A and B are shown apart, each in its own frame.
Chain A
Amino acid sequence: MLSLSRISKSFEVKDGVYQAVDSVTLEVEKGSIHGIIGASGAGKSTLLRLINLLERPDEGSVILNGREMTVLPEKLLRQERQKIGMIFQQFNLVANVSVSRNVSIPLELAGVPKRERTERVEECLRFVGLADKAGQYPAQLSGGQRQRVAIARALANHPGLLLCDEPTSSLDPATTTEILGVLKHINEKLGVTIVIVTHEMDVVKRLCSHVSVMEDGRIVDTFSRADGEFLPAASSSGSYREQILGKAREDYA
């Protein structure tokens, strides 16, 4: 459904150029939950932002559902973005408007008529279990609730793809579990493909069907549950592959 081909992005910094994403090729299967894990500064967020072209690639192409995104004119690109949900570590809600208006904004941007908007907002809030908070403001909610509003907002325009940038990194363990549950539910019930960037091993093990390991701007390893069961227990030595699939498996490979 999504394929990145030899995609690169560099930034100008004080002493030259910094290659944040370096010729990455990646295939994301329809219906999968694809984790991208790696150390801080590996280029994970940049890679995610290249998918919906918040960041323009220097080279390479992004193909979503057979459509080359990188060549789309501004207006069509905006329409495509409306079909790609995105959630963030800091939630990025509009603090000055109510929960329901937050969910309504993407619908307004897409030109959905008022009556349909009201219905859809209710539906999305019910889906994330926040129907009773519709009239409240983000500041009155807990972190987990805010992230659920952000998820409802991302779902409003029926996206086929949901991009998540460290969605649980500022949440406590119990809330993390709750949010991972919501994401899983979205994937299973609505068939939404998810790409999730994280540095938390646990998130990958519990949620993802596919994993890519990122290091210094490159994808250095990709595997899936087809390569073996992901280890439930926390092991914290060896490569990401070893930590997730276990050492023995590595030996067979």
Chain B
Amino acid sequence: MLENAFKYQEQMWQSIGETFVMVGISVGAAVLLGLPLGTLLYFCRKGQLYENKKLSLVLNTLVNIVRSFPFLLLVVAMIPVTRLIVGTAIGTIAATVPLSIVAIAYYSRLVEQALLEIPRGTTEAALSMGASRLGLIFKFLYVEARSGLVLGLTTSTISFISFSTVMGVVGGGGVGDFAIRYGYQRYETEVMAYAIVVMIVLVQIVQFSGSTIARLLDKK
């Protein structure tokens, strides 16, 4: 019976690979674009250093729209954009486009929250010693928020793993798609269960690593 679960092992490896590509690229997008966006959200907020009502309203609206969109609909709605960016709307790479958009919006919010935890006095001290904008961000804010930033990225990554499971609709593949095609649709319950276990293990690894790193970084 157990052999039954492993009979598509080759396809399973490929699916794991696809999940890694989709999640990996969206984590990259979250860090490269979500982090600066979240920092901007933080600075523009009422009462913060570069308070800016208009910019704040625009950014918040955008982030909220992306985050409130039912994910599958977002994937479909973004097909033309995806085609524009990667030349095709089908396949693993194409699937990373909507996933990355959600990743950026999702993580930026968590970045903003992590930065809001920093006491006002830290910024005050930084400015009093003549820190430039970048000095303030890299030598003070990110340093103080770093474990929150890592925990946020961990939470985000797990969400991206979950989002990536529906990418079968645009031929994105991945472990979720494997579970549906080889397990659910062929009535091979063992195969489906195996895929689910793989997902659970993946999530556990991410959470454990994230929590551990965050704890090591926190000296407070």
B132 in contact with A95 (CB, 8 Å): no
- Across-interface contacts of A95 in B (CB, < 8 A): 144, 219-220
Query: How many A-B residue pairs lie within 8 Å, measured between CB atoms?
Result: 72
Any B CB within 8 A of the CB of A84: yes
Instruction: Identify which of residues 105-163 in chain B touch chain A, using a CB-to-CB cut-off of 8 Å.
Output: 119, 121-122, 124-125, 127-132, 135, 139-140, 143-144, 146-147
What's the minimum C-beta distance from A92 to chain B, rounded to whole angstroms? 4
A94 in contact with B128 (CB, 8 Å): no
State A27–B134 Cα separation when bound (angstroms): 34
B146 in contact with A96 (CB, 8 Å): yes
B129 in contact with A109 (CB, 8 Å): yes
For chain A, give the interface size range.
20 to 34
State A160–B119 Cα separation when bound (angstroms): 28
Any A CB within 8 A of the CB of B203: no
B128 in contact with A96 (CB, 8 Å): no
For chain B, give the interface size range.
20 to 34
A92 in contact with B143 (CB, 8 Å): no
- On whether A54 and B128 interact (CB within 8 A), knowing A92-B119, A94-B144, A95-B144, the answer reads yes
State A253–B19 Cα separation when bound (angstroms): 84
B129 in contact with A105 (CB, 8 Å): yes
- Across-interface contacts of B129 in A (CB, < 8 A): 81-82, 85-86, 105-106, 109, 153-154, 157
A81 in contact with B128 (CB, 8 Å): yes
Between-chain CB contacts (< 8 Å), 17 pairs: A54-B128, A78-B130, A78-B132, A79-B130, A82-B129, A84-B128, A86-B128, A90-B119, A90-B121, A91-B121, A95-B219, A95-B220, A96-B217, A96-B218, A97-B219, A108-B139, A139-B220
Beyond A54-B127, A92-B125, A105-B139, 15 additional pairs, beta carbon < 8 A: A54-B128, A78-B132, A81-B127, A81-B129, A82-B129, A88-B121, A94-B122, A94-B139, A94-B140, A96-B146, A96-B219, A105-B129, A109-B130, A109-B139, A139-B220
